[in-house]
Structure 1
């Protein structure tokens, strides 16, 4: 039964503008989320991307080929109903941002971390007014509560759709600063992803790539890029 997939039952998927946002209709019937909420999204661009995913389905519906639909569903069914919890969870990254934890050696890795991460911390200080402390090793580096609060404010004002995208940008990179830089269009998603992978890429350069680890990294990279795309669709 786990292989069961619903069959396509509609001929046309279309976008319908309504008083609360943009709906997706299948042969005139509005699409619902898995939790039976109305699938109403904030922008025409997002609605059209979702409609295109439904139109692209063949005989059987494959949710794996519908990433925008899945993200919109998550925003409505999950993020909307636990908004404060999601914001609190993501704000914690401001107190343990990847960019603040540096290696003590070897020198090559130290230099690569500094080259990739120092400019981002400088950007956060100049643009966001956030000054984060940096330490060596994995022990927690205490941050100024004011700085953490400022980073929290960067995500607290997002609607549930943008917040769903921010969740993946932050959790997949391990950095609230990098996510903010992408959302503010300071750096491209590829640049942010590369900066988040300095440690892993260093290990690969020293010991070679592991097929299983590389496959897992590619899944995360694709999810990160999708999150950036979904964020762009929210406005």
Structure 2
């Protein structure tokens, strides 16, 4: 089987899972968007995915993400989904259409500068930490109490648009309660910012739970692209 056929089959399987989850949750399939996370995979895979109808891809490292976008001929929406360092934020804002991992106010000024200097408008999501503080595993994210401050900073910044929230389910735990907490954070955010409707949650292993909790965007890598060597 060639690579295109492999990706086509994997995409179809993921699509069936998303459709079934939407049906089970009583949601419209059109309300849930797939972001294929292409980190560590070559630009050639991105081009193949675009040819198969994928519109959104996610990357988690700079400058790999920048280089891949430059190498790819497809017209796609590029999401930066990884942890972001302050000294790289401006550079990321020069090519990413969406930055999903804004977890502190300190990042906002640099993102704004990069977007404004390049004449771009970048959508930003507040990454929310869903871990139990007593068993924190070191993942990134603003605490629910800190989300309003980060959101307000994004909304007020030149070149940035507040899109909503993003989160990763805690490791080794049932994702459903965590995604329910994210839904509550998202609802409170919309009280102050009604247009911030994006809820990015769910990956290959827990996308069904995310759909049930109201996720609007799913970040799926392994189930579409397959396993990747850990030495890559």
Instruction: Please confirm whether the aligned pair reaches a TM-score higher than 0.5, indicating the same fold.
Output: no
TM, length-normalised to structure 2: 0.29
Tell me which protein shows more strand as a share of its residues: 2
Larger radius of gyration: 1
Tell me which protein shows more helix as a share of its residues: 1
